[in-house]
Structures are given as structure tokens and as C-alpha cells.
Amino acid sequence: MAAAEENSSLFLIFILTMIALPLVPYTILRLCRAASEKAKTIHCRCSGCHRSGKYRKSIYKRISNFSTCSNLTILLLWIVMIFLVYYIKHVSREVQVFEPFSILGLEAGASESDIKKSYRRLSIQYHPDKNPDPEAHKYFVEYISKAYQALTDPISRENYEKYGHPDGRQGMQMGIALPKFLLNIDGASGGIMLLGIVGFCILLPLMIAVIYLSRSSKYTGNYVMHQTLSTYYYFMKPSLAPSKVMDVFIKAAEYMEMPVRRSDDEPLQKLFVAVRSELNLDLKNIKTEQAKFWKQHPSLVKMELLIQAHLTCESFALTPALLKDYRHMLELAPRLLEELVKIAVLPRNPHGFGWLRPAIGVIELSQNIVQAVPLSARKASGGNSEGIAPFLQLPHFTEATVKKIARKKIRAFQELCDMSVEDRAALLTQVAGLSEEQARDVELVLEMIPSIEVDIKCETEGEEGIQEGDVVTMYAWVSLQRRNGLTAALPHCPNFPFHKEENFWLLLADVASNVWLSQKVSFMDEATAITAASKAIQETQEALGASAKEIGNAVKEAVDRVKKGSRLVMGKFQAPAEGTHNLTSFCLCDSWIGCDTKTSFKLKVLKRSRAGTRGHVPEEGPAAAAEDGIEEEEEEEEEEYDDYESEYSDDEEDEKNKGKGKGKVVNGLAHQGAESDIDSGSDE
């Protein structure tokens, strides 16, 4: 019995150890991360974002933020650990060594007379005839009498002196860390225990593995279904216009699986009437267009109407069931749009280039969804080539407000941003008719809008110039500044019901709208950016054979730039044929409208003169001519539609604005809005 209880105690100690080994370091790691998090406010503080409730620090919100699965699991495991420690310390019995001299209150080697005196003294205190307490009787029989016998009986004393026990040599007793019920097994409980072991140790892990594999085979790492990626890949075209991106976006498998209920028919009919002007229907054949619209797949009709309801702020009229689908649709939208951008810039043609036009259209759709601005607001009107979409993302701004400030020659969004605070406040209160509180909201949002600058440098590592076929490395420093001094911040989006981090896409393209390089840039995690930039600069300097001091200085300079609000973007591409190539880098934000930037420069490629071949040089000839013919046929087959003008869709406008940049060119660096030659070698 004692052995079984000792085994149970060992089992509890074993369980305590297995829980403590991962739990203690993981808890310390979580606490260190929580302590290192900045308490600085990074979200918009305007009244609209405050009313949305996304950033409200109520007690319920705090409890909800704490009551995550990981936090509750950690708390539960700590409670179990504390209970086990208490139980092992106070309930389980410790194995005590038999010490007769200590029991009788004597020192080792005491004489027989002293032993008898001590025994008589303890007998008066603990003998059953003198003390009726049952505990005293038990102590007298099990300890005092046994200790006296061990010291007075010659054989018992000899055994004690030789083996440490009055009964002689004792066998070694070992315990096993198993609970007591597993050591007392009969026929019935043995079968139940066997079934439990099979179920817990075999069937449960097998079930978890099957569920995980079935889910992983259905979804990507970004929790997007593989079927969605296949659909996007099939419908993505190089000539896909921004207004047609919506048709591809709503074909996601996640949206197609959403239920279409009969009770949704009437609300969707009313919603169709409210958003009909945004559906690009031909007004000359309105009845035919409406019939054609409703003949689409019910899921496509429902998704397009829900998205248009969001863009036109008509979601207040949705039924509870449709409102639930509407929120789910918006929750999935950011990661679906991200995957759609990746599909657009995926290398397709033989030269490994992606497509610029659909990529820009997807990012512009993302901007409109985050800011809840209609797509029609991007149409050029009233002498404003970029439309009124950037104005409508500001709080309390409507089309009437934009028309009022246009009377004061403020037609472009950048003109409003460049005004002084006093002049802008006077314009908003006296001309636009906003109150002082509303004008302060506008000012808070303008302070949050990022200003982006891009510095680009292209070179061949270890060589003086760029020759055809070389592997060219692009170094791009993307710098972000805000008027409020923040680098990492959440965008102003009161109508988007979920947290949305702002991301930027850096695209390097040529005049033929081919994307050579693409990469997503984030300013939210400074520590990760420092690590990535340090590693990239260190590897580059080591490849060039720089000294340790030079490497340290370069890494320090990169770290300082990251801390000041810059991010390093690196990419490699193969140098094209000999000549001067006009390239443009686009830095596009997926959350803000009107803060995108372009950087134009020229890449000079020399004829190969060095020994060896760095890569395959693209051939020019009949094959290239055939590809051009195919592209011309695709452009001829493109459907006619009423499209809004994208900010980057007209190359002629870029030629007109070449001389308007404010950047400078120094040592082969191309800055924002400037056109420059990246001199790749000495003149021959």
C-alpha cells in the first residue's frame, strides 16, 4: 500500500516536471514581449474611429483581449502546477529513515541505562494507560517501543549498527511514476484502460493529423483556399482594367461557399436599386443589363452587392443575416486581395515578368475597400485627374464638400495637404462649412497619412558596370514620414470593422507595364526590419570583401536608417539587352488613397565585354515578334467598357510630368519623382 502511494506521488512529480519545463520559459518569453511593447498610440484618434469601437479600451474589451486561447491555457496550466505543488508538499507522505536514538531523544552511542531512563520517561507520556489519545498510542507502539527494542535487544542492535535497520538487511525498493489505479488492474478495468490508452495515444493523434492534413491540403499558409488561387490565376489577364478587378476578386472560393438564402432576395433587390449606379451597367440597355446581372451565379451577385454596399456606405440597410455575411466578407478581403496582387505580379512571360496594370487595379480596389470609397470617385472630373476619392477618405467629407473647396482652387488632394494648418482650418470652417471639431478630425487624419520617398540603386556586385546578362541587385530604401512623427500606425478606416495594418507594395516595372520585381513592405515591426537590413548589408559587404570595420559601419548606418523610418528592399534580376531602359518603381499603399509614389530612372546596360557568362541573355528576333503579335491580338479582343482612369494607367501623362519632380540624383541614386541615369560603368 505504501509503495503504491509512493508511486502515485512520483507520478504527480513527473506530471509537474513535464508541465513546468515548457510552461516556465514560455511564460517568461510572453512577459518579456509584453513588457517590450510600445504603449504609444498608433491608431487614428478622430471621432469616427472612436465611434467605430475598434480601439475602445473598455473593461469588456480588455477582458476579451486577455481571454485568448493561449492566455487562458497558460493560466490554467499555472493553476494546475500550483495545485500539484501544494498536494505533493502537504498530502503525500515523505519516506522517513528509522533513527531509534533520535526517537528516544538520545545521542548516538548512549549507554543502556540512559536508554532505559528515556524509555520510561516517554512511556509515562505516551503509554496507553497514561495517555488515552489514539495518536499517542500509535506513536508509542510504532516508534518508541520499536526504537527501545532495537537498542536493547542484542540481535536487533547488531542489525541496526550493521545495516541501519533492526530487522537486518533491507531490499532496495524502487517506485514507478504511474498513478495508483494503473497498478491495481483487474479484468474489467484492464479492458477499459486498454481502450483508453488506444483512444488517447493512437486514435486522438491520428484524428488530429487527419484534420490538419485535410485543412492544409485545402488552404495555403495565408489561410486562402487553393481553389481560390487557381481561379485567380485563370482569370488574371495582363490587360485587366481596374474596374474589372472586382469581377475577378468576388470569384474567390471562400465567397462562393457562403450561403445564399431565399430570405435574402428582397433585401438584395433593394440593395441593387441603391447601388445600381456603381455597377457599370449600360444605361442605354438598362433592362438587358439588369437581366444579365441577375443571371449570374447567386453567390457572385450577393458578393458584388455586399461590396458595393460597403463602398457606398449602404450597409445600415442590411438584415442581420446579410450583415453577418457582410462582416465575414470584409474579414476575408485583405488576405484575398494580397493573394490577388501576388497572382498579378507572378512571372508569366518567358522573360519572367509580371503584369503591372492588374496589380495596380487590385491595390486600388484594396484602398477603396479599406476606406469605403466608391470606385466611381476615381473618375477624373472638374479638372482633377485623380478624382475625388482621396478627399472622401477624410472624415466629414462629401461630394458637396469637395465642390465647395474646389471654388477656392483646391482641386488636388496634395494641394489640401500642402496648406498650412491655419489656412486649412479657415478653408474647412469658412468655405466647406465644417465645425471646428470636424476640422480637428480632418487635421488628425491628415497627420496620419504617410509620405513615402524611395531611393533606388541598381548595380552588379563586385563589378564596375552592368553588362547584358549580369545579375543586377536592386537596393531600394523606402522611407516613411508622418506629420505626427509616427512610423508604425494603423490607417484611418472607421467603416472597416476590423483591424487593418497598412502595407506597401514596391513594384519595379518598365514602359511596357512588365513588373520586374515586387515585394511587400511593412513598417509595423521595427525589430524584424532591423534584423533583415543588418543581415542583408552584412552579406553584401562580405561578398565584396570589405573589412570588419567597414561592415560594422555599414550595418550601423542601415540600423540608423531603419530606426528613422526607412525599410530596405533588395531584389535581383537579370540585366536585359544592351541599351538604356526606362524603369519606374511604384510604391503603392493598400490602405490609403492618394499617397502612392513613382520613381523613374534609366538603367544603362553595356555590351558584354567581360569573360564568362553570368546568365542567359534574352534573344531578339522572330520569337519576340511573335510575342508582340499575341499581345496585340489580346488588346484587340479586349471588351469595351466604361472604365475609371487609374492614377498610373496613362504613360503619356508620365512623359508630361517628367520635369516636375523634386528629387535629386547623386551617385546613381534615383529619388522620388526624379528621372536619372544610373551610370553603370565608364565610357567606352
> Which residue do the cell numbers 488506444 mark?
198
467 with 494, same domain: the answer is yes
Q: Of 556, 589, 605, which one is at a domain's C-terminal end?
A: 605
Task: Specify whether 59 is located in the same domain as 39.
Answer: yes
Pick from 219, 239, 264: which residue ends a domain?
219
Strands, sheet with 514-522, edge to edge from the N-terminal-most edge strand: 354-355, 514-522, 503-510, 579-589, 597-605, 677-678
What tens digit of pLDDT does each residue of 446-496 get? 999 999 999 999 988 878 889 988 999 999 999 999 998 888 889 999 999
Q: For residues 119 and 141, what is the distance between their CA atoms, to the nearest angstrom?
A: 12
* 322 and 236 both lie in a single domain: yes
Identify the CA nearest to 671 among candidates 603, 564, 599: 599
In a domain, 648, yes or no: no
DSSP helix/strand/coil, 573: strand
Range name among 283-287, 313-317, 567-571 with the lowest pLDDT average: 283-287
Residues 228 and 130 in one domain: no
Expressed as residue numbers, the domain containing 43 is 2-92
**Do both 132 and 45 map to the same domain?**
no
Per-residue pLDDT band for 287 (boundaries 50, 70, 90) equals confident
Alpha-carbon span 304 to 307, nearest angstrom: 5
Quick one: cell of 429?
470652417
From 38, 62, 92, the end of a domain falls on: 92
Three-class DSSP category at 232: helix
pLDDT in tens, 27-74: 888 887 766 554 444 778 888 888 777 666 544 555 555 556 778 888
Residue 578 lies in a domain: yes
pLDDT one-digit tens code per residue, 139-198: 888 788 878 877 777 777 777 777 666 666 665 555 555 555 555 555 566 667 667 777
3-state SS class at 399: helix
Q: Residue 61, SS3?
A: helix
Distance CA(490)–CA(48), nearest Å, equals 14
Q: Are residues 36 and 48 both part of a single domain?
A: yes
* pLDDT tens track for 621-662: 434 433 444 444 444 444 434 445 455 544 444 444 444 444
- Verify that 80 and 126 share a domain, yes or no: no
Reference 648, options 317, 244, 357; nearest CA is 357
Number of domains in the chain: 5
67 and 134 in a single domain? The answer is no
84-120 pLDDT, tens digit per residue, is 888 877 655 544 566 777 777 777 777 778 888 888 8
d(CA 429, CA 93): 81
Are both 596 and 462 inside the same structural domain? yes
Q: Note whether residue 425 is domain-resident.
A: no
Task: Quick: pLDDT tens for 200-245.
Answer: 778 888 888 887 777 777 888 788 999 999 999 999 999 888 888 9
pLDDT tops 60 at residue 664 = no
d(CA 249, CA 519): 21
Tell me, what CATH number does 139's domain have?
1.10.287.110
Q: Are residues 304 and 288 in the same domain?
A: yes
Q: Is the pLDDT of residue 552 over 90?
A: yes
State yes or no: pLDDT of 530 exceeds 50: yes
Q: Are residues 79 and 135 in the same domain?
A: no
Nearest 5°: the CA angle 213, 216, 217 is 85
Contact between 352 and 471 under an 8 Å Cβ cutoff? The reply is: no
Mean residue pLDDT of the chain comes to: 80
- Closest to 258 (Cα-Cα) out of 307, 310, 201: 307
